[in-house]
Amino acid sequence: MTEKPQSPSKSVIQTSSPNSSENNEMVVTPWEVKGKVDYERLVREFGTQPLTEDLLKRVEKYTDKLHLQIERRIFFSHRGLDTVLDLYDEGIKFVLYTGRGPSGPVHIGHLVPWIFTLHLQQKFDTRLYFQMTDDEKFLVDDEATLNETRKYAYENALDLIALGFKPENTFIIYDVKDMDLLYDITLEVAKRITYSTARASFGFQDSTNIGWIYWPAIQAAPCFIHKKLTGENLPALIPAAIDQDPYWRVTRDIAEKLGYYKPAQIHCRFLPGLGAGGKMSASMPETSIFTMDQPDVVKKKIWNAFTGGKGTAAEQRKLGADPIVCSIFQYYFYLFEEDNTKLEERERRCRAGEMLCGECKNDIAAKLNKFLAEHQRKREKAKDVIDQYHIKR
């Protein structure tokens, strides 16, 4: 049994906060997120920058209106976004880069940064490189086979395409299949990362397999692939959940030595699961809504979800409920209520006891099922065009 890399440094946070119970301990590594996530602490300990009002104004200049995910600080932190905007002001564009570890089916939480990425792509009219890390998921999970991770890479790509990305400027990189495009770049990167740097950044141990140790070079490569494919040297901007930050820190340290711009990141939070707290996890399927879930399954999961409600309807009408701890309210906040006024009204009615959890759950189940029916339809159509998103040789 492979042990997960442990935390020897501040880059991989894995300690109890004083008041956390044993099983609510915060764990945030590129391979594992659990417990109650303290985002302010992540910004502090990872050493990233918060998204300031000033920076948001600069983004707004190019996007007309701030996307709700940035306005609501679902994207809340960055590295080097200011530099990318400086360059953009001077006429130097950027490419977008994000990805997915295809270890299972896609759930609603995975869609959050992809939706924001699509928004950036549309507003900045730029190219996206999307990495399917079928190799990584094979290396870090004892039980995974390459057949499985490659199958999920295909399945997950359908979900990406269903969101509306266009093949003219969206390039999906399947690591195993596309290593011919990445390999020389990974070598240039790997030569400049010593084992001690990798161990300090990712918590590798003696029992870590050598594939996992090499892998940071493979996650770095798409930052630099645009120049190889087009001859054009542009910085990459990476919208992704903050657990992936250690990769980019290492990559930023070597980018300029290789003649590239440092990749910039913009980091998002995790959509909480339907249980009490924590990231939505594919390993606890009852706490996540998967894109292929059928209406009755969605209703059942929503019905069983953790909320901020009281023990009885009478008590809740009298005392109101707490939307802050409610997993259902997060669904509105992250994705399903774009209108701030309506969101505030929902919050007010919840707190005042005017709306009980049943009504709120019925509303979100209907919204989810409407969204999923449309998504599933587009996802089916994606099967006909998926090859157009593959980089041509």
Residues contributing to the site for its own copies (CB under 8 A): 135, 138-139, 146, 176-177, 179-180, 183-184, 186-188, 190-196, 198-199, 204-211, 213-214, 216-217
Taking the complex as a whole, the smallest distance from the CB of residue 141 to its own copies amounts, in Å, to 10
- CA angle (8, 137, 265) in 5-degree steps: 65
| Smallest distance, its own copies to C-beta of residue 207, A | 5
69/201 with CB nearer its own copies: 201
Q: Are 35 and 26 in contact (CB under 8 A)?
A: yes
Q: 129 and 95 in contact (C-beta within 8 Å)?
A: yes
Nearer to its own copies, 96 or 213 (CB): 213
Nearer to its own copies, 85 or 182 (CB): 182
Within 8 A by CB and 6+ apart from 311, the residues are none
How many angstroms separate the CA atoms of 393 and 66, rounded?
Answer: 37
- Selection from 316, 328, 306, 386 nearest residue 352 by Cα: 316
Q: How far apart are CA 206 and CA 199, in angstroms?
A: 10
Minimum CB separation of residue 28 from its own copies in Å reads 22
Q: Please, what is the minimum distance in Å from the beta carbon of residue 170 to its own copies?
A: 22
Alpha-carbon distance of 290 to 282, in angstroms, equals 9
Q: Minimum Å distance from CB 183 to its own copies? A: 4
Which residues 6+ apart lie within 8 Å of 161 measured at CB? 170, 378, 379, 382, 385, 386, 389
DSSP code for 13: B
Report the residue number, 98 or 208, with the smaller CB distance to its own copies: 208
Q: From CA 72, how far away is CA 146, in angstroms rounded?
A: 38
**Minimum CB distance to its own copies smaller for 9 or for 205:** 205
CB of 181 to its own copies, least distance (A): 9
Beta carbon nearer to its own copies, 52 or 209: 209
